[in-house]
Structure 1
Amino acid sequence: MKLKSAILRRSRFVRLGVFVAVAGLLAFATIGSASVSANAAVPTAQAQAAAATSLPCDLYAAGGTPCEAAHSTIRALYASYSGPLYQVKRASDSAVSDIGLLAAGGYVNDAAQDSFCASTSCTITKIYDQTTNHNDLPISWGGYWKGPGANGADIGANATALPLTIGGQKAYGVKVTQGVGYRVDNAKNVPTGSKPEGVYMVTSANFVDQWCCFDYGSGENSHTDTGNATMNAIEWGTACWFGGCTGSGPWVEADLENGMYSSNTGPNQPSYTGVNFPFVTAMEKNNGTSNFTLKYANATSGGLTTGFSGPLPNGYSPMKTDSSILLGTGGDNSNSGVGEFFEGAVTAGYPSDATENAVQANLAAAGYSFGSGSTGGSGPLHAVGAGKCLDDPNSTTTQGTQQQIYSCNGAANQTWTRTSSGQLSVTVGGTTLCLDANGQGTTNGTKAIVWSCNGQVNQQWNFNANGTITGAQSGLCLDVTGASTANGALVELWACNGGSNQQWTLG
């Protein structure tokens, strides 16, 4: 199908695995959970090495469906992996640096990025493949739909736009905004044609849209639409491409080229209304001839749910999958999709349910979080640089009022409550309002206002290990304008820069 709209773009997506002691691995993943949890508060290299016993690609290999491409900016996906995770490029002098691990099989050495990128900005220029195939993901050269970079290439993600913690250790994910895309063509040993293939990734419901395409998986080497069944990728977002959907998403969908499929007919099943977690496990597998299956879960707890499992759409059997591996765009470089990526892999073969359950158990044990501690809590929100408190001016209950800092006084208009859903609320005169990114803004200078609490993503705030508070939707930091220390200085959103005017403590 072809659409003329420059916004919508065209759509192009969207052996039975050997069971080898995966039940034992699932039990072992549960044991690993206790190990990670016990060491989360002090994530030393030794503790990480001890915890990294069986990681996702070890589990897939044990199930007879090995990873042929594995990518993460957060952690190792093999217990033995000790190489680099990703590469960053510094804006000030165009120097590049590889960011690696604290220990083999462990978490990212985030301090290496912080040190290298201090006083400037950095871009993620490459995400390394952790398999022996070396299917590394550089920034894509573009495609049918041109990217915003030089000569129509895509651009890299801001390296500090998506802070989080994992096992208590600070890390940075890949925040895919429109135009960001990574890709390796003619990837080695990945399934092609009608060979069975599995894909998983960890993403988030905090940052999604309905456009094509925030994908991870297999696409065309030509970066053009080469017809139905030439892709096999996870598509994540709120696209209801064929109409008739139930709920508002977002959904784990299959981009099989020329359609984002939540079922073999297109729209989602009535019971599959959407997946809304800060961290989402997304899985898709395709046996190449008769079945594809979509699964999802809260990546921090619980088990997998099957959103769909059934026949391939009409005209998609057998599959004709090509060997390009992509992240962030559609097969022909459709680049209007947005999303967040933390880890993922492409496997040879059709993973068993037991293998996938074991992988989910490992993810739930990993300790993904957007906070620096437990959620909840109430008290003054201190602006560290100014030595003052976030203040609702004159205890107003007027929606849209921009917030300020003021000398701390313990009054109700300076008492903020952090909820388990990530909101920051203040109650004055019996009225409760929430801190809100004005107009769902995602640009520098967006006002931090109060508004009726509605649970939308522009009212969700991440407390980070480095003392910043970032908008879940924008990734921007809560910022005292102009680094002012004066009473009445206004508060806004601004790109995170390490300044003390972006440091906050609650309580």
Structure 2
Amino acid sequence: MGRAQRPGRLRTLGRLTAATALAVAALTGYTITAGPAQAASQGPCDIYASAGTPCVAAHSTTRALYASYSGNLYQVRRASDNTTLNIGVTSAGGYANAAAQDSFCAGTSCVITEIYDQSGRGNNLTDAPAGGAQPGPDKLAVANAAPTTLDGHEAYGVAIIPGTGYRDDATNGIATGDNPESEYAVLDGQDYNGGCCFDYGNAETNNNDDGNGTMEAIYFGNIKVWGYGAGNGPWIMADMENGLYSGANAGYNANDPTTNYRYTTAMVEGGANQWDILGGNAQSGTLATDYSGTRPNVSGYNPMHKQGAIILGIGGDNSDGVDGTFYEGVMTTGYASASTEAAVQANIVAAGYGAGGTTGGGGGTTGEIHATASGRCLDDPNASTTGGTRVQIYDCWGGANQTWTHTSSGQLTVTDSGTTDCLDAYGNGTTNGTKVDIWPCNGQANQQWNINSNGTITGAQSGLCLDVEGGATANGTLIQLYTCWGGTNQQWSLS
């Protein structure tokens, strides 16, 4: 989208009129499975290839998207010495080797420098250069800011915050002009905002707004400047440049529902004067068709003028004011059938996102949060209900002001005198030393927290660790955000 746009995140699916994918029940539990993952018998790109619509780009930081893929998924760079490490899979067709990242990044911080294309076409994503809307290059995602699990195996997504984005302007095989393509992405359906533009898909090759129809990307978010759907959002829409579309007309489409599954499947398909949006729960069930019909009834979209670059977390002109989390996604050549998209959805569900382990979306856990170094509890001082009150550590005594609930949306809530507030990164801060306070819950990313298997609690927006200031252990020591470095003052347990 262009500079004036403020779209949200797009989730689009293919031409699905009667999805027939098998519903796969989401697994439960809280134990990280040791040992290598077993190879999949089929990946999403095997399904697309067998249907004659092969992947021409396949990106994931969590798993292999082909049953035979044994290469690298992504690369990380650590701050301590600027060295890099490629993160591969534990076995062909398997899950990301997250343990390698944990070891490499221990005691320092890491960013994701490159996301490799598994299709063999070399369409790798790196930090986005300057564009018409924003100077660049963009920032890189903090490598441990979006922890997740797949069938109990630890992995990390790509946490996009404002100013972060990835791109490839010199691609191979991506659809151009009015040629057909299909796109899907697995996203965190509870990490979004109303900025421009959390996109994944086809964009301009010169990083500028080149007019109507020069893009075709999945968008996800809750902006209403262009198109929007039912409820308060977020919605899956298509970013076709100079418009986020939920249907044939600019503006409202009652059939495009609010979609906020913790793990959300979003798909967009497009061909000659025909396109579709589909979406669903990436943990269970089948796809729904949110739109299927002709191109927007505004000049410039029929025929399309796609240019074939690939973007992640930004708009076509490098508009980068968004929040979102990406786990996997592909682009194909050709318009996938309903049965193909149904099979892909079943494959995503079978991957077991969020099953086992402890992640930001686990939710439902209530108790005290103990600081490992001191044994004291995370405490809302004097059971305050005043927004902006900084939290501290204090002797555990079982009071409501020390009882925290990790919700399904990743919030840490505390209820005092009948008022429920959220643990909050003050002022949406994302730098070392940001104060941690209580604030009325508002659904923003600075109130979402990942409780990780390594004992840290990280901000979903910043990727920084919940940190006891100065490593002190006394009652009343305040809490801040700080770069994760492995110290005991950043270790916590939720009982």
Letter in 1 for 2:455: G
Alignment identity in percent? 52
Out of 197-206 and 163-172, give the one that drifted further. Answer: 163-172
Q: Is the 8 A contact 1:18 1:63 kept in 2?
A: no
Letter in 2 for 1:132: G
Q: Is the 8 A contact 1:147 1:179 kept in 2?
A: no
Report the Cα offset of residue 100 of structure 1: 0.7
Q: Does 1:293 align with 2:283?
A: no
Counterparts of 1:427 and 1:10, CA distance in 2: 34
Q: Is the 8 A contact 1:426 1:434 kept in 2?
A: yes
Q: For 1:368, what is the secondary structure of its paired residue?
A: coil
Letter in 2 for 1:189: G
- Say if 1:145 and 1:453 are closer, same or farther in 2 by CA, change over 3 A: closer
Q: Is the 8 A contact 2:192 2:445 kept in 1?
A: no
Counterparts of 2:393 and 2:7, CA distance in 1: 47
2:35 to 23, 41, 44: 44
Report the Cα offset of residue 162 of structure 1: 2.1
Counterparts of 1:145 and 1:406, CA distance in 2: 47
Q: Does 1:252 align with 2:243?
A: no
Report the Cα offset of residue 355 of structure 1: 1.6
Once the two structures are superposed, what CA deviation does each residue of 1:288-338 show, in whole Å capped at 9, x if it has no partner? x22111112222222222222111013211222212122222223233333
Q: How many residues align?
A: 485
1:217 to 201, 204, 213: 201
Task: Give the equivalent residue in structure 2 for 1:418.
Answer: 406
Task: Give the equivalent residue in structure 1 for 2:153.
Answer: 169
Higher RCO (CA < 8 A, seq sep 6+): 2
Once the two structures are superposed, what CA deviation does each residue of 1:465-493 show, in whole Å capped at 9, x if it has no partner? 22222334444332222221111111233
Task: Give the equivalent residue in structure 2 for 1:303.
Answer: 286
Task: Give the equivalent residue in structure 2 for 1:335.
Answer: 320
2:377 to 376, 380, 389: 389
Counterparts of 2:303 and 2:152, CA distance in 1: 45
Counterparts of 1:381 and 1:156, CA distance in 2: 31
1:376 to 364, 371, 381: 364
Counterparts of 2:243 and 2:343, CA distance in 1: 30
Task: Give the equivalent residue in structure 2 for 1:401.
Answer: 389
Counterparts of 2:369 and 2:251, CA distance in 1: 44
Name whichever structure is richer in helix by fraction.
1
Report the Cα offset of residue 9 of structure 1: 8.0
- Say if 1:413 and 1:39 are closer, same or farther in 2 by CA, change over 3 A: closer
Q: For 1:116, what is the secondary structure of its paired residue?
A: helix
Task: Give the equivalent residue in structure 1 for 2:221.
Answer: 237
Gaps of at least 5 residues in structure 1 are none
Counterparts of 2:194 and 2:447, CA distance in 1: 20
Q: For 1:86, what is the secondary structure of its paired residue?
A: strand
Q: Is the 8 A contact 1:403 1:490 kept in 2?
A: yes
Q: Is the 8 A contact 1:160 1:496 kept in 2?
A: no
Q: Is the 8 A contact 1:88 1:97 kept in 2?
A: yes
Q: For 2:72, what is the secondary structure of its paired residue?
A: coil
Letter in 2 for 1:44: G
Once the two structures are superposed, what CA deviation does each residue of 1:18-56 show, in whole Å capped at 9, x if it has no partner? 99xx97xx55x95xx79x8799852532x422xx11221
Report the Cα offset of residue 90 of structure 1: 2.6
Counterparts of 1:234 and 1:460, CA distance in 2: 24
Q: Does 1:354 align with 2:342?
A: no
Out of 394-403 and 120-129, give the one that drifted further. Answer: 394-403
Report the Cα offset of residue 362 of structure 1: 2.0
Once the two structures are superposed, what CA deviation does each residue of 1:351-404 show, in whole Å capped at 9, x if it has no partner? 112221222222222222396175323332111122211123234444443221
Letter in 1 for 2:62: I
Counterparts of 1:282 and 1:97, CA distance in 2: 30
Gaps of at least 5 residues in structure 2 are none
Letter in 1 for 2:318: N
Letter in 2 for 1:410: G
Task: Give the equivalent residue in structure 1 for 2:309.
Answer: 324
Task: Give the equivalent residue in structure 1 for 2:143.
Answer: 159
- Say if 1:260 and 1:76 are closer, same or farther in 2 by CA, change over 3 A: same
- Say if 1:55 and 1:504 are closer, same or farther in 2 by CA, change over 3 A: same
Report the Cα offset of residue 74 of structure 1: 1.0
Once the two structures are superposed, what CA deviation does each residue of 1:188-232 show, in whole Å capped at 9, x if it has no partner? 222222221000011123332323222211112222233322221
RMSD: 3.2
- Say if 1:338 and 1:414 are closer, same or farther in 2 by CA, change over 3 A: closer
Counterparts of 2:228 and 2:280, CA distance in 1: 23
Q: Is the 8 A contact 2:145 2:460 kept in 1?
A: no
Out of 336-345 and 369-378, give the one that drifted further. Answer: 369-378
Counterparts of 2:439 and 2:104, CA distance in 1: 38
- Say if 1:391 and 1:262 are closer, same or farther in 2 by CA, change over 3 A: same
Q: Is the 8 A contact 1:206 1:472 kept in 2?
A: no
Counterparts of 2:404 and 2:28, CA distance in 1: 29
1:133 to 112, 115, 121: 121
Q: Is the 8 A contact 2:426 2:436 kept in 1?
A: yes
Q: Is the 8 A contact 1:127 1:138 kept in 2?
A: yes
Q: Is the 8 A contact 2:6 2:194 kept in 1?
A: no
Q: For 2:350, what is the secondary structure of its paired residue?
A: helix
Task: Give the equivalent residue in structure 1 for 2:182.
Answer: 198
Structure 2 length normalisation: TM-score?
A: 0.88
Q: Is the 8 A contact 1:218 1:325 kept in 2?
A: yes
Counterparts of 1:392 and 1:212, CA distance in 2: 35
- Say if 1:243 and 1:362 are closer, same or farther in 2 by CA, change over 3 A: closer
